[in-house]
Amino acid sequence: MVYRVSSRLREEFLKLLREDAEFRYAVLGLLGIDEVLRRIDENTGAIKSLQEQVAEHSRIIKGLQEQVGVLVEQVARHGRILEEHSLAVRELASKIHALGTRWGLVTEETFRESIKYLIEDLLRAYKVEKWIWYDSEGLVYGHPSWVEIDVLIRDGEHILVEFKSHADKSDMGELYRIGQLYEKATKTKPKLLMVAPAIRKRAKELADNMGIEYRGEILEY
């Protein structure tokens, strides 16, 4: 049997759908559409939540990437510092080896103690640098010249280290003047250390008066 809907009834039905929300939802319920819409709303909410989580994860990943970048730069910088330190230590070891070779076995025990003092005590705790400065006033040698010396640094303490195969008064005087130049150029008063297998007695006496520390065998002449 076919039912015909009059035009008036159809118009009234459409009007109720447009103007009466309760009637509209009732019709949707009968048709099962309200359940579809509810699930669409739930899915929309779930999708929005996932989008927020993805955005948060993206921010976290970006933060981690920035931290990794900083760590990589720190590792590279520390690597450069370690390489520079190792180079300076090798240069010091080379000087010590050259001095030991020159003086042979006569002062081997004394020089071994000097090496132990430098390598095991100082170099373990101090940063090693090479200081090069143009002495335009001729403070060290009496005429303008380049001055070069090894420096050990730790917590604001600077130690100038001079290596000689044989230390005399003139060597102590030279180290003392380099210390004056260093203080004038850097505004830091350094400690002074002379390392030599043999140190003449008169050089020791001058070092004591000037406040210069020394490592090596003191000769009685």
Give the Cα separation of 68 and 65 in Å (integer).
5
Between 111 and 8, the more confident residue is 8
Dihedral sign, CA of 122, 179, 112, 85?
positive
Confidence of residue 16 (pLDDT cuts 50, 70, 90): low
169 burial type by CB count under 10 A (0-12 exposed, 13-18 middle, 19+ buried): middle
**What average pLDDT does the structure give for the chain?**
78
Query: When comparing pLDDT for 40 and 107, which is higher?
Result: 40
- The confidence score (pLDDT) of residue 25 equals 65
pLDDT value of position 179 = 97
Predicted confidence (pLDDT) at residue 207 exceeds the cutoff of 90: yes
Q: What is the pLDDT of residue 131?
A: 94
Strand pairing report for 127-135 and 157-163: unpaired
Task: Give the model confidence (pLDDT) of 169-179 as tens digits.
Answer: 999 999 999 99
Q: Helix, strand or coil for residue 191?
A: strand
Task: Name the nearest CA neighbour of 213 among 190, 185, 182, 188.
Answer: 190
Residue 204 has pLDDT above 80, yes or no: yes
Q: Express each pLDDT in 119-164 by its tens digit.
A: 567 777 888 888 999 999 999 999 999 999 989 898 999 999 988 8
CATH code 3.40.140.80 for 81-219: no
Structure confidence at residue 149 (pLDDT): 92
CB 17 within 8 A of CB 27: yes
Rounded distance, CA 201 to CA 18, Å?
116
| Domain chopping of the chain, boundaries | 7-52, 81-219
pLDDT score recorded for residue 2: 44
Alpha-carbon span 92 to 72, nearest angstrom: 30
Q: What is the pLDDT of residues 70-110, one digit of tens each?
A: 887 887 787 777 777 667 666 766 666 565 555 554 455 55
Q: Per mean pLDDT, which range of 20-24, 37-41, 65-69, 98-102 is the poorest?
A: 98-102
- The residue with greater pLDDT, 213 or 89, is 213
